[in-house]
Amino acid sequence: MAAKIFIDGEHGTTGLQIRTRMAGRRDVELLSIPEAERRNAAMREDLLNSADIAILCLPDEASREAVSMLSGNNKVRVIDTSTAFRVDSSWAYGFAEMDKAQAEKIKSARHVANPGCYPTGAIALIRPLRAAGILPDGYPVTVNAVSGYTGGGKQLIAQMENLHHPDAIKANNFLYGLPLKHKHVPEMKVHGLLDRAPLFAPSVGRFPQGMIVQVPLFLEDLKNGFTRESIHRTLVEHYAGQDIVEIVSLEESKTLARVDAEELVGQDTMKLFVFGTPGGEHVNLVALLDNLGKGASGAAVQNMDLMLSA
């Protein structure tokens, strides 16, 4: 029997991408609400409570409202794509490759918080080094990133694609989050196992999809004289046995003149690089992903599939 899936917020960017990924699947039945009725609370509540899995593609407060609509005695399971529950310990964090046991946690969970796109890249780079004791307590972690403009939703898409829009953005690249209080920082700190909030500097480029996340490191400030090679080996060991996160070899990395933010567009995978001169003082860790793939809709479908496999 096909599992009933309701995407609450299916007409937004993330929701539409999730629908596209499930097109033609026979193992799921999509429950849908007409766009004109998307604010019909009674209809939403009925569909939410009729689903096997509800995927929430909503702003934070609307997600909290949707969860409150669920009857206490039903068995509806939830994947939330907002930031509302990402640091809530009662919700499973939906980055299956983050640790060896994380996929099983997602598989058995009733509530799963889908990761943010920027944090997915940052946590993928930082967490293994913290778990291995390479990044010491108090290390001043910096995360620099650029995303395709679809990560900002319909409003930013309209501003970037329509130069006649009253609030059109004409810049090819712009930095934002200038007060350094971005909503993704708590998520990076908690799931990156950091004891100190990272400094996060996000930016947006004039390309629809794609993302590069960078974490630069001073080797002399790490524990026990770790090198570029030992950091790379730690990442390889951490992600062994799965096929979503690829650790690009040091040999291949040495041949690269640049990294293209759009390389993985349309894919639900991620690549991690360790750049730097062997024996040098600096290393630059880089994560490459599609902000709507492994960074959003693709991750939500992956989490759904894990939950359905329980």
Task: Name 210's Cβ contacts closer than 8 Å, sequence gap at least 6.
Answer: 147, 148, 260, 261, 262, 263, 264, 265, 289, 290, 291
| Residue from 48, 113, 117, 194 carrying the catalytic annotation | 117
CA dist., res. 205 & res. 209, Å (int): 9
Helices 13-22 and 298-308: crossing angle, nearest 10°? 50
Q: Are 162 and 154 in contact, with CB atoms under 8 Å apart?
A: no
Asked if 57 is an active-site residue, the reply is no
- Give the rounded distance of the alpha carbon of 25 from its chain centre: 24
Which one, of 204, 205, 189, 211, lies nearest residue 259 by Cα? 211
Greatest CA separation for the chain: 63
The first and second tokens of residue 143, run together, are: 């995360």
Distance from C-alpha of 118 to C-alpha of 97, rounded to nearest angstrom: 16
Alpha helices in 79-143 (DSSP H): 102-108, 117-131
Active-site residue list: 117
